[in-house]
Amino acid sequence: MNNEIKRILESVRSGELSVDDALLKIKAEPFEDIGFAKVDLHRKIRQGAAEVIYGAGKTPEQISGILDVLKKNGQDTILITRMSPEAAAAVGQKHELDYHADARVGILGQMPAPTGIGRIVITTGGTSDIPVAEEAALTAQILGNEVVRLYDVGVAGLHRTLAHLDDIMSASVIVAIAGMEGALASVIGGLADCPVIAVPTSVGYGASFNGLSALLSMLNSCASGVSVVNIDNGFGAGYLASMINHMDVKKES
């Protein structure tokens, strides 16, 4: 059962919330139409995580309008991905925005305390992959996860990876981010006993085809338990890692 609905029902059981108030919370308008966007207000109830704003292609005015709706409806922490510095500067004049320029991520509100079952380890092949890694790490943190960053541990110096075996072995989920030939995912997949999410990046010389070579290498990984998201999709990897790290055992009643 969804965590948000669980909290509402537990509040009813404890007497903190009346049955009528709980019903209102569940039946509240599922979205708000503001013309240029239909803001999803029930996503947290359906999926356990509230709507995230994709900033690319949106004007600062549109981003601010969506933020106004989300804040009005009780969303305390809001994530904006692929946000340009110009948009961040404009939105920051109206909202208290924590902008991470390397990841192109904007955050409103405080990071929540970790609620996952374990730790998410974010690894990169090189320093050039860090912007994508930070998008993944910040996404995972805002969704309530403890994150460990292991950057620049690629296969060009395999001893750097092996120096962090304790972190790799103790992770609940690992995100392996690499460009060039994308070999890091296979190496990590061959060491870890947990799910590995591979993220190809567009880092590399001409024959890397802006990440296509890394994508194909990761899709063809011989290591079991490796899944792959799209090129430079740090957000998708961080979100999926959080879902895995929050899995409860589902039992039939």
160-189 per-position pLDDT tens digit = 888 888 999 999 999 999 999 889 999 999
- My answer on whether 221 and 139 are in the same domain is yes
Q: Where are the beta strands (DSSP E) in the chain?
A: 31-33, 38-40, 53-54, 78-81, 98-100, 105-108, 119-124, 146-150, 173-178, 196-200, 226-228
How confident is the model at residue 38, as a pLDDT?
66
The whole-number average pLDDT for the span 86-102 is 91
Identify the residue whose tokens are 């110009």: 86
- My answer on whether 103 and 206 are in the same domain is no
How confident is the model at residue 3, as a pLDDT?
57
In a domain, 137, yes or no: yes
How confident is the model at residue 22, as a pLDDT?
76
How confident is the model at residue 31, as a pLDDT?
67
Rounded to two decimals, the pTM is 0.83
How confident is the model at residue 80, as a pLDDT?
92
- With CA atoms as reference, report the closest residue to 119 among 153, 142, 79, 149: 149
Q: What is the distance between the alpha carbons of residues 63 and 115, in angstroms, rounded to a whole number?
A: 28
- My answer on whether 127 and 226 are in the same domain is yes
Q: Count the domains in the chain.
A: 2
- My answer on whether 78 and 137 are in the same domain is no
- With CA atoms as reference, report the closest residue to 7 among 28, 33, 25: 25
- My answer on whether 161 and 219 are in the same domain is yes
How confident is the model at residue 137, as a pLDDT?
97
Angle at the Cα of 154 (from 153 to 159), degrees rounded to 5? 65
In a domain, 12, yes or no: no
- My answer on whether 85 and 154 are in the same domain is no
Of all residues in the chain, what percent carry a pLDDT higher than 90? 53
- My answer on whether 136 and 103 are in the same domain is no
Give the CATH number of the domain where residue 125 resides: 3.40.50.1970
In a domain, 2, yes or no: no
How confident is the model at residue 187, as a pLDDT?
94
The whole-number average pLDDT for the span 44-67 is 82
For the stretch 58-74, pLDDT in tens is: 999 999 888 888 887 77
In a domain, 45, yes or no: yes
- My answer on whether 67 and 169 are in the same domain is no
What is the extent of the structural domain holding 214? 119-245
